[in-house]
Structure 1
Amino acid sequence: MIRTRTDADFVDCVVLLRDVHESAGYPVNWPADPKDWLTPPDALGCWVVTVDGEVAGHVAVGAEDGRAFVERLFVDPQRGGRGLGRQLLDHAVEVAASEGLPLELEVADNCEAAIRLYAGAGWKELGRTPIDWGGDQASAVIHFSAPPS
């Protein structure tokens, strides 16, 4: 089930984010304030997916310059492979469509499972930008656009 994230979800979301960071390297650099990081300043909204009443993943959708962006998408590593990431991604597509905005996202090149998810969902790679903040984990950010609806 996908629902709007509440303040009561922050602890679970930060714990999951730490697990994802340690197991998959996302985010590449641990945020100084993970709770604050979960809500981008341009957020249209933030949602969680739950399994048996427990938070199992998170996504935010931001908007800027007439475009929407998938942000802060992650799923409990213990629940990977169950389609939860795809559900969150599809929800982001619905949110952007309801706002009449084209949807894009960026992902560091070290996030292999996420890259497979986006490619498998029909997202189109727009290009890559080299980064200097990825240390020995990531060397570029990959830009994707949502498939046509």
Structure 2
Amino acid sequence: MRRDRVADAAEGHPVLRVRERSGVRDLEACVGVLAVVHKADGYPVNWPDQPAAWLEGAAVLGAWVAELDGRIVGHVGLARPGAGDEAPGLWGERAGADRDGAAVVSRLFVAPDARGHGIGALLMRRAGREAQERGLHPVLDVVSSDAAAAALYERMGWHLMAVVEQEWQPGQRVALRCYAGPADPADDPSG
């Protein structure tokens, strides 16, 4: 299991690391953090009936958690393109490739009390690196109302391909910003 250490307790800083999500305990901790994020930020827009199953996803290529001083404070997943994902098709059209050459970064969230440590960017880089290692191009869709997430992606060199509308439920139309990641994770201007 690969672990990415960012800060060291010996340096007098909190210990921050990203590791693969594993087991029921991790999933339960992630659901707890997700509930706090939903209450604070409205993400996800529609609370899932089964949040653990929602986090696991149907076509997961990998999932990682961020720990701050041993406490899970963030999550990101990487999945094959699904029926409702807009970004893979847009990327495929622009790249002259099949949408299956993309990997969808999803389920990204960070606990409100743990923000300001670069955790979101660290999780994004981990998922992007995994996509690249699998020969896939990272893409994602985000609701247009999530300005903070869009700002993070753009700071990291992700390219807005389009804004599209979807109907998620009868009477619930949402605008989605569709992004493609940098061609090379080393191109990430955020470091």
* TM-score, normalised via structure 1 length: 0.93
After TM superposition, the structure 1 stretch with the greater mean CA deviation from structure 2, 29-38 or 62-71, is 62-71
Q: Which residue of 2 aligns with 1:85?
A: 120
Q: Which amino acid aligns with 1:133?
A: W
1:112 matches 2:128: no
C-alpha change, 1:61 and 1:78, in structure 2 (3 Å) is: same
For residues 5-43 of structure 1, give each alpha carbon's deviation from its aligned partner in whole angstroms, at most 9, with x where no partner exists. Answer: 122112210111011111111110000100000011111
Q: Which residue of 1 aligns with 2:27?
A: 10
Shift of 1:113: 1.3
Larger radius of gyration: 2
Shift of 1:139: 3.1
- Give the match's secondary structure for 2:80: strand
Q: Which amino acid aligns with 1:43?
A: V
Runs of 5+ consecutive residues of structure 2 not aligned to the other structure: 1-16, 82-99, 185-191
Q: Which residue of 2 aligns with 1:72?
A: 107
Shift of 1:55: 0.2
**Contact 1:129/1:141 (CA < 8 Å) preserved in 2?**
yes
2-structure distance, mates of 1:81, 1:135? 37
* TM-score, normalised via structure 2 length: 0.73
Query: Which has the bigger relative contact order, CA under 8 A and spacing at least 6?
Result: 1
Select the residue among 44, 58, 75 that pairs with 1:41.
Answer: 58
Please give the root-mean-square deviation of Cα atoms over the aligned residues, in Å. Answer: 1.8
1-structure distance, mates of 2:173, 2:167? 9
1:19 matches 2:40: no
1:95 matches 2:134: no
C-alpha change, 1:25 and 1:126, in structure 2 (3 Å) is: same
Q: How many residues align?
A: 149
Q: Which residue of 2 aligns with 1:52?
A: 69
How high is the sequence identity, in percent, across the aligned residues? 38
C-alpha change, 1:87 and 1:33, in structure 2 (3 Å) is: same
2-structure distance, mates of 1:107, 1:73? 10
Shift of 1:66: 2.1
